[in-house]
Chain A
Amino acid sequence: MFGRSKKISEGLTRTRQSFFGRISGLFGAREINEELWEELEELLILADVGITPTVEIVERLRERVRRERVRDAQTVREMLKEELRAILLSPRQSAADGQLLTVILVVGANGSGKTTSIAKLARFYQQQGKRVILGAADTFRAAAIDQLKIWGQRVGCDVISHQPGADPGAVVYDAIQAARARQADVLIVDTAGRLHTKYNLMQELKKVRGVAAKNVHLAPHETLLVLDATTGQNALSQARHFKDSVEVTGIILAKLDGTAKGGVVFAIARELGLPIRYVGTGEGLDDWAEFDADVFVNSLFD
């Protein structure tokens, strides 16, 4: 647990320095006044937390400060931590337990980072001694299959694929058969990037999910939505649509190594009850960590 916490800490260093570092700075030895609240609001908005959640968080904090007669900014800082932590749900146990074959469906918008995240997730399970197989169900985008195959080679796991343009459902079916034949523990399915507003593409995704559900008991055991940390408020709409269509169970927050803060996950957790399961922090295979709400919020304030 400690090792993992440390990794998240490292991954978030930049985030912390740029954003929450400033929030921390706000709460030095200073009094609580209007200026403080305004700065706080600004910082939350700049972190993509979104205007509505920001106003609510700040209001709740103000109310508490008034009620509990808080006088110093340091205590306000602790309270903000609590508020933010309370919004993020603790993730569920890893899904790869208790069944013969765990099927994980990875979905998301174009360019959010699905393929890279899948490679890292495969590595993550391999390190736990699991045998992993990848299913290349993005048969649409040019060279998507090649991209996954290259990652498969790097990670050292088999990739089940068809020709470009093939039916993604058929790929999933074959991948399940192959996973069983090769006695794999985990099958991770890469799907084509799609905008959540494309009705037909979302229907197709439902079908892909249906193939997994029909052929493996209780599958997919996890359906992970990959979100680009750079994405603003539209991430909420994305998460809502994907959840409605394919029952997303958790979020992978990718590209957290830039200067973007990914604050929209607060709104996603609050409104949709979706936990953040993993964070991607770079292009390397090990730039990856399990998400932990406590560690996350604490790291932000260190």
Chain B
Amino acid sequence: MDNQTVLAALRDTVGREIRAVSEFRGDLSVTLTPAGYLAAAQFLRDDPELAYVFLENLCGVDYLGRKPRFEVVAHLTSLRHRHRVCLKVGCDEPDPTVPSLTPLFPTANYQERETFDLLGIKFAGHPSLTRILLPDDWVGHPLRKDHPLGDEEVAFTFNQERIYARKPFARE
């Protein structure tokens, strides 16, 4: 299995939905519309010749300042052909939403919840889209580029008095 075969098969089925194709360092990545993303994943999984049955990775990226701002990246692996293909789909504010892959691949469940938790991307069709890593009452999505790192000033000898004066030390 090589990149061209997969790409040709994808062009045959979801050709209209493909927005961009890139081959970088030997890896094929295909950017699709939201509808095409779901259709492509379903096709790659169900086609007996291709058999990309294993969703290896799913994550989101915040490209602040670009249109569309967010991108969801899914890496599908064919265990039989030992080949990987990358599907990308963009979504934009104010309501970044992409279709969920969980009905197709149950393993996407946690990865989509993590992406929702840390980046605030919603997945339409996900059975239980809630925060997973951060507490339920957390405000904000820390992996967004406009979210601060939240670091505190480090205490050294020259400034420790000032910092320790307002540090909330615990009591008995």
A and B are partners in one complex rather than unrelated chains:
no
